[in-house]
Structure formats: C-alpha cells, structure tokens
Amino acid sequence: MLEKMAEEAHPNILIDESTIRPGSNPPVAKKKRNLPGTPDPEAEVIALSPKTLMATNRFLCEICGKGFQRDQNLQLHRRGHNLPWKLKQRTSKEPRKRVYVCPEKACVHHHPSRALGDLTGIKKHFCRKHGEKKWKCEKCSKRYAVQSDWKAHSKTCGTREYKCDCGTVFSRRDSFVTHRAFCDALAEETARVKAVSNMNTSVVGNINCHFMGTPQGNSIPQNFPSIFKPISSSEDTMINPTTRGLSLWIGHGSQGQETMVNNNLQGIHQLGPLCSGETFADPLVSCSNMSPSDYHQNWVFGTKLSSSNAEELTSTSLPLIDVKEAGTQLLSIPSLYETQHQSNQTPSANMSATALLQKAAQIGSTSTDPPFLGSFRFKCNNDSRVQDGNKLCGPYGSNSILSNLGKDAEKTAGDLFQIHPAKRRHAENEDGAGGETRDFLGVGTVQPICHPSSFNGWI
Amino acid sequence: MDITLFTTPKEAPLFSYSNQKISNVLQAAIDMQSNNQPQNSHTSTSRSSDSGELPSASGKWASRLLKECARAISDKDSGKIHHLLWMLNELASPYGDCDQKLASYFLQALFCKAMGSGQRCFKTLNAVAEKSHSFDSARKLILKFQEVSPWMTFGHVASNGAILEALEGDTKLHIIDISNTLCTQWPTLLEALATRNDETPHLKLTVVVTASTVRSVMKEIGQRMEKFARLMGVPFEFNVISGLNNLGELTKEGLGVQEDEAIAVNCIGALRRVEVEERGAVIRMFQSLKPRVVTIVEEEADLSSSRDDFVKCFEECLRFYTLYFEMLEESFVPTSNDRLMLERECSRSIVRVLACDDENSTEGECEKRERGSQWSERLKEAFSPVGFSDDCVDDVKALLKRYRAGWALVLRAQGDHHESGIYLTWKEEPVVWASAWKP
C-alpha cells in the first residue's frame, strides 16, 4: 500500500523497497530526493488549498509580478531584469526544504508525516486520486485526470498486440480474451501443465506414453483375451469393445485418444501370441532384474514386444529403463511406437498419467462387473483381495506408483495390489525416488503378477 | 391450392438468367398487376403502368415482388399467388445478391404459408440444423460474426457493464444467462472480475438454453468456460439448464438460486422466443428471483403486434431481414461461408414467424420480436429502468469504433436520459436494443 501510494505520487522514482518502512525517517545522507511519502523531518510542511495547488502560476517575480509555473522559469525571467550581481542571487540562506501535504482530508498524504516533496508531484497526486478525470482516451474510453498520463496512454493504446497460444494475433483486447476462452490451445495448455507435473514424479506416465504410441500400421491378430472386453459397458468413449480393457490406463477426453486406444489395443493384441514367452526376451533383455517370467506381466505394456517390431523395440527399449530413472524423456518415448506420428498423440500422451487414472476411476465406478479384473483375478488365483472399485491399473502397477497419479487413484490403488503381495514387496525393494517412482511396468522391479500358468485363459 | 404451383407455365419462354430476365419477369409482374392476367410475353405494353416505377433490373425487385405475393396470399388470389411464386422461384437464389437471397428465404416462407406446410418445414429445417451443428462449427461461426460485426457484442458489452456495476462489491455472484450466445459474453466479464482491485468474487453462471441447436454443444462450452475461469483465477461454477418447454417454468430452486447470492438475470435474444401471451408471466418469474439487475437485449423489430395482419407482419419482417442481410453482406467478405451459414439460420426464424400458427407452437421457438419500447412497457410492470452509466456508454462507443463504419449508438432520450435503453443503429436504422432494469 505504501509503495502503491508512493508510486502514484512519484512514478518516476525507483522505489527502494528495502528501505521503505512506514513511519521511518529517511536516511539524512540522501541529498537529492527523499523516499516518496517519507519526508525529511527538517522540512517545512506546506499545506496548500486545492485552489492554490491547482493554480498555475505560483512563482511570482518580485520585480514585475509576473507569474510562472516553475521556479526555473522564474529565474530565467529574472535574469532579464538585469539585476545587479548582488541581487541576482537568491537569498543566501538555503531555502528550507519544502514538502507538501495533500489537501484532501481522507488521503494518506494529508498527514505531514506522509507529505510529498515535490510540488508537481502533489499536484499530480491530487488530480489522479481526488480529481475529476477530464481526459479520455479515444480508442478505449479509459479516463485520466492528468493530461500527461492521458498522453502517455494514447501513445500506446491500440498499438499493443495480443497473441494467443494458437498463433492468432489480435489488436483488440476483447476479441483476444473471447477467443482465448474458446481456443483449443487453452485446452491443451492445461492438459500439458497437468501432465508435466505428473511426468516428473511418475514413471507410470512414461510407460503409459509408450502405450499411447502404438504403431498404427500393424495388423493385429484379434486374439486379445476376452478379459479385456467388457470392462465397462457404460464407457462411451470406447468404440471397440476390445479396447475397453485398456481403458483402465488409457486417457480419456480428447477424441484423439480413441484412436490411440485402438492402437494400443492393437499393440496389445499383438502381444497375445507373444505370451508364450519367446519374444519377451528381446526388449527386456537389457533390463536389469528382469526375469523371463516377468515378461508375462510386461507383455501388456510391451507393444514393443511385438515380433514385427522386435528390432526397433530392442534398440529403444532402453529408454524404458532410463525413463524410469530420469523421468523426463516422456516426449521421446511415444516415438517408440509410432510409425506414423499423429499430431494429437503427443499432447494426449502427455495427459496420460492423470487422465488414465481418472478414466480408470471412472470406469471402476461405473462398471458393476469388472470382467477384466474379475477374470484376471480369477486366473491369477487371487480372488479375495481385489476390490471391485479398484480398477485402476490392472495388476501391474504398484501401490505407490498409483498414488502419484492422482488423488482418486490413491484410495483405490492400495486395494488393487493386494492381488500380488509378492509384487508389492518386490516393488518396494526397488528404489525409485523415495519409493514414489515405481516403474509401472515393474521394469526394473519386474515381478510376475501371476504365475504364468494363470494366463492360460488368454495366452 | 393449385399443386402445380411451381411448374413453369407452358407459355413461358425460356429465359437465360440475366438482368434481361429480371426485367422480363418484372414486366410480367407489372402486366399482371395492371391486367390481372398472367402474361409472359415480353412484348406487352403498359410501360405506363400504375406503379410507374419499373426499375432497372438491379433495383429492389425482391421487396416488391415479395410484398405483392404476401398481399396475394392475404387476398387468397390463387392465380396471382401462383404467378408470383413462380417468378420469385425463377429469380431467387441463396447464393446471389441481397435481393436474390431475400427472395429465396422469404419465398420459402411464403410458399409454406400458401401451402399450409409451415410447421413441417420448420421442423425439417430444425432437424437439419441440429445435425449440422457441432461445437467447432458453432464456435467458429459465432466468433467470426462477433469479430466483423457488433450486432452481438453491443449487447454483451452493455450488459456486462450494467451487471458489473450493479453487482459491485458482492462476493457471491450468480448470473442467470438466458440466451443462446454460447457464453461468448462471459470471458470479458470474467476478465473484468479478475482484474478488479479488490477481492475477486465467486461467480456462478447458470445458462438457460432455449435453442435446440445450442443444447448439444453446451457441455463442451461449459468445460471451456471452467478452464478459462481457472486460468483467470476466478472461482467459478457452471450449470446448464435445457429442455425447458417454457421459460415460465423456471423456478428459484430449479435455477439453484441461493439466499446469499447477488443475482443478475441476463436475457439476450431470448424473450422473443417466448410465446406472446406468456411474456408477462416470464417477466414476473424474473421478478420472483429477486435479481439486482436484469439486462435485456433484443433485436428491434415489431413482429408481434401485427401478428394478426399477415401483410403488415410480412412487411415488417422483410424490413428487418433486409437490414440484417445487407449488414451481413457488408460485414463479411463476399465469399464468406460464415455469412452463408448465418443467412441460413434466418430461414428458420422467417418460416416460423410467417408460416407457422401459434396453436401448434413448440417450445421456445416463437421468434416474434418486439421493439424496445414494447418490451419496456412489459418490463415496467415489474421493474424500473436503470440507465447505463457514462462509463458503460463510453465502453460501447469505443467498441463500435473498432468495427467498420456505419454503426452508431443512440440513446432515445425521452425525458430522462438513458431511460429506455440504448440502441445500436446501422446506417441510422436501430437494429438492436439493450436495456437494464432493477426491481
């Protein structure tokens, strides 16, 4: 508040923030200007009436009585009178410093302790705060009491351009604002912001990114396990029944997601035949702590495990691990899978983490019969622990991973992983960042979620 | 009614489309006028017909023909109707110049009126429109329109100004937006709330949608608005109410009005969609919500007092839409698809007003506009007018400056300044009326 008022009075003065304190005395050493609103205690306080304040000619020549607005102008004029040298000089006594108070009683600067040191300053202050705004900008109808303010504004008004994230430039602020509210760039921005905040804390997001980037060109054997089919009949964004299973961890929202989901599932489908275990070795061979049996669980995520992509996947499988550690390579990961990169893939991939969880939570809450988990549970000899509401990540995630993905996840995540206490234990051993950045896939902490034989139904 | 209405009479020579054609057809019209018989030969006489105003082919032929036809329908002169409809059909085109467009859309209405198929036609048009509406297309269209013409933004700026002033200092605001503007009014208001010096108030926005085409996109709109409010840092809540048959059915509870909220009712282009007899009830319903301010924006045309007189109603309708189409033509580029879409939107309204009977009225599609003075009469029963402040008027004027020439703001100073609202004029014709009321 102090600064604000001081600023108004002396906009040209750089305010020394560190020394402004209410009611303090300014350092006497300062010669030129005192801090605004904190006058020299020795100064003479002048209280002018509004009329006098606004009077234009305050400085009068003693010789001829002519009035001037400024002291300097008066001095210049006096020279013209050819005064004898002695008289030319002003009175030798150094004039006492003058400070002025605002005539407006309600104003802070009315009190002598908050007087302003400059006459021009107090005049402007009085006008701005307590005066009638007589000057108006033509273009935008903004009003000003002080002419100089108005002039300064008029110079810049209308010249300012507003640029939206989408690239469009506006000369009018109102059309810019309205455009912005409906611009798609806004939607992406918030999604991106969300995703970025998740990216750094959760590897799961990264892994999911892999998911997103399923190569589209692959032909998919449709032997995707029936488990994945009717996860949620109420799920409206899933167009392909077989895609529903993946909806657990595939984001919702943008239409682009749907194709991606399909793609992902295609990838998963691909894995179907791989469950026998041969190709598992490829990409994961370089992973530490991976045992062959781990691949069984990883196959879902490993569209990379598709035989047709084995080579690329092998070479790019490393990022999986790196991602786990670095957690920042999110954006590069989708390229693992994308033979054709869709422009909507990356942003959607970025939304994956939270979106996935939200989606999963949604599905969990809407579906009364979770065949996926149900059957999975069944197949995995693990019927008792999974609660119906927790469909979040299927059997693969760890408790702690999910807790990073979202608040709703947290409640439900824990239950889910009762399925595999073994896995959880294992996951706990694995050290991410304080136990938080578990690898969703369990890469690095690879654990079979179930005994491979339990995959019978859909291998 | 002769069902061969649109078959070309055998005697008619084949005209190639040209100004010659127009003048031939017009000549035929005039001959018919004077001889009361259809004549399609262009060698007929009577240049000195009663009207004495055979214009050049590029004159305002559409207006004359259309009015003639309307009169013929009113007189139930089937021969004349037949002929005129045929002529209009020849000359009309939704892709031509203003006259041709007007001819095309009004011809449709006249035809329906003559055939009694207005209701069916209206339903079809509605269904088509609903199908082709998507969030993207609607958004693009409305934003483009607002960019090139102040037709809508005039009302928005005036209303926002009045609302902000009336709700100054309140911390819980509830705006009831009865309109079909796809919430394009609110981003600037949100920004204004966000940049106020004092505490940013909490805003609850309840949108009541009356047009079926808008309903489907409201979900997406809501999401955008919520996101934007978050971006602006304004605590925001958004609700949509749709599927109402009758605005009068709204209640305090239905709208979610709470005791500690400061209510503003914002009604843009929605009162005209209420059946004429029910308008009083709707205004009383507004009163029951105990709002601090009610902002009403309507288009300036009188299609309700003349509803029993077809010809008068028709002429007024034609006058209004002529202005509108001309305005559109001058605001958009000639090849604009957006303008075409906007013109098409009018066709439903025109058919509804001219060719549909009130008895079969469907929900919220009445479209019988009234002038500002007429609305004022109604509103004065429950509210008293509050003028727009100088600041607000200045804001509107500044807004108009940003558009092409031709637009102006007029205050109908009748006794009290600003009393009866402000008018947006285009080429000195008042087209939109904005007003603010308090209980």
Which residue in the block uniquely carries the two structure tokens 């004898």? A84
Secondary structure of residue B207 in the 3-state scheme: strand
Q: Which of B146, B228, B402 has its CB closest to that of A186?
A: B228
Yes or no: say if A100 and A48 are a contact pair by the CB < 8 Å rule.
Answer: yes
Which residue in the block uniquely carries the two structure tokens 């102008």? A73
**In angstroms, rounded to a whole number, what is the distance separating the alpha carbons of residues B263 and B251?**
13
Tell the burial category of B151 from Cβ atoms under 10 Å away from its Cβ (0-12, 13-18, 19+).
Answer: buried
A309-325 burial, b at 16+ Cβ within 10 Å, e below that, comes to bbebbbebbebbbebbe
- Mean pLDDT rounded to a whole number for chain A: 54
Contact A175 B146 (CB under 8 A): yes
A136: which chain B residues are within 8 Å (Cβ-Cβ)?
A: 394
B157: which chain A residues are within 8 Å (Cβ-Cβ)?
A: 174
Residue B266 main-chain phi, psi, to 5 deg? -120, 115
Q: Which of A139, A172, A177 has its CB closest to that of B187?
A: A177
A174 CA: distance to closest CA in chain B (Å): 6
**In angstroms, rounded to a whole number, what is the distance separating the alpha carbons of residues A216 and A339?**
7
Q: Give the chain B residue whose CA is nearest to the CA of A143.
A: B391
**In angstroms, rounded to a whole number, what is the distance separating the alpha carbons of residues B401 and B405?**
8
Contact A141 B190 (CB under 8 A): no
**In angstroms, rounded to a whole number, what is the distance separating the alpha carbons of residues B355 and B364?**
16
What pLDDT score does B287 carry? 92
Contact B187 A178 (CB under 8 A): yes
What string of DSSP letters covers A14-33?
PP-GGG--TTPPPPTT--S-
ipTM associated with this complex:
0.79
Q: Both tokens of residue B144? A: 């483009």
Q: Give the chain A residue whose CA is nearest to the CA of B135.
A: A182
What whole-number percentage of chain B has pLDDT above 90? 44
**In angstroms, rounded to a whole number, what is the distance separating the alpha carbons of residues A93 and A72?**
18
A173 CA: distance to closest CA in chain B (Å): 9
Residue A170 main-chain phi, psi, to 5 deg? -125, 145
**In angstroms, rounded to a whole number, what is the distance separating the alpha carbons of residues A251 and A359?**
6
Say if A451 is an interface residue toward chain B (CB within 8 Å).
no
**In angstroms, rounded to a whole number, what is the distance separating the alpha carbons of residues B325 and B411?**
24
What pLDDT score does A130 carry? 74
Contact A181 B224 (CB under 8 A): yes
Q: Which of B164, B180, B135, B132 has its CA nearest to residue A255?
A: B135
Distances (CA, A) of B31 to A291, A334, B12, B26, B319: 98, 76, 14, 8, 26
B223: which chain A residues are within 8 Å (Cβ-Cβ)?
A: 187
Q: Is B275 left (phi over 0), alpha (psi -120 to 50) or beta?
A: beta
What is the amino acid identity at position B7? T
User: For every one of its 459 residues, what pLDDT tens digit does chain A have, with 9 covering 90 and above?
Assistant: 444 444 444 444 444 444 444 444 444 444 455 556 566 777 777 777 777 777 767 777 888 888 887 788 888 888 888 877 665 555 545 566 777 788 777 777 777 777 777 777 888 888 877 777 778 777 776 778 888 888 888 888 777 788 888 888 888 888 889 998 888 876 655 555 555 555 554 444 344 434 443 444 344 344 444 444 444 333 344 444 444 433 334 333 334 444 443 444 444 444 434 344 343 334 434 444 444 444 444 433 333 433 443 344 344 444 334 434 443 443 444 344 434 444 344 444 445 656 555 555 555 554 444 444 434 444 444 444 434 444 444 444 344 443 444 444 344 444 444 444 444 444 444 444 444 455 545 454 444 444 444 444 444
Q: Which of B183, B187, B223 has its CB closest to that of A180?
A: B187
- Which residues have a Cβ under 8 Å from the Cβ of B354 and sit 6 or more positions away? B106, B109, B110, B112, B113, B118, B310, B313, B314, B317
Q: Both tokens of residue B239? A: 């609700």
Contact A186 B230 (CB under 8 A): no
Q: Give the chain B residue whose CA is nearest to the CA of A136.
A: B394
**In angstroms, rounded to a whole number, what is the distance separating the alpha carbons of residues A457 and A100?**
91
The dihedral sign for the CA sequence A356, A362, A367, A369:
positive
- Which residues have a Cβ under 8 Å from the Cβ of B135 and sit 6 or more positions away? B217, B220, B221
Contact B224 A178 (CB under 8 A): no
- pLDDT, mean of residues B324-330: 93
A139-169 burial, b at 16+ Cβ within 10 Å, e below that, comes to ebbbbbbbeebbeebbeeebeeebeeeeeee
Secondary structure of residue A143 in the 3-state scheme: strand
Pairwise pLDDT comparison (B60 vs A423), residue with the higher score: B60
Return the residue in B227, B395, B403, B409 with the most chain A beta carbons within 10 A, the one to mutate for interface testing. Answer: B227
Q: Give the chain A residue whose CA is nearest to the CA of B143.
A: A179
Interface of A with B in 179-198 (CB under 8 A): 179-182, 186-187, 190
Residue B287 main-chain phi, psi, to 5 deg? -60, -35
**In angstroms, rounded to a whole number, what is the distance separating the alpha carbons of residues B406 and A407?**
56
Say if B184 is an interface residue toward chain A (CB within 8 Å).
yes
Tell the burial category of B199 from Cβ atoms under 10 Å away from its Cβ (0-12, 13-18, 19+).
Answer: exposed
Say if B188 is an interface residue toward chain A (CB within 8 Å).
yes
A139: which chain B residues are within 8 Å (Cβ-Cβ)?
A: 398, 401
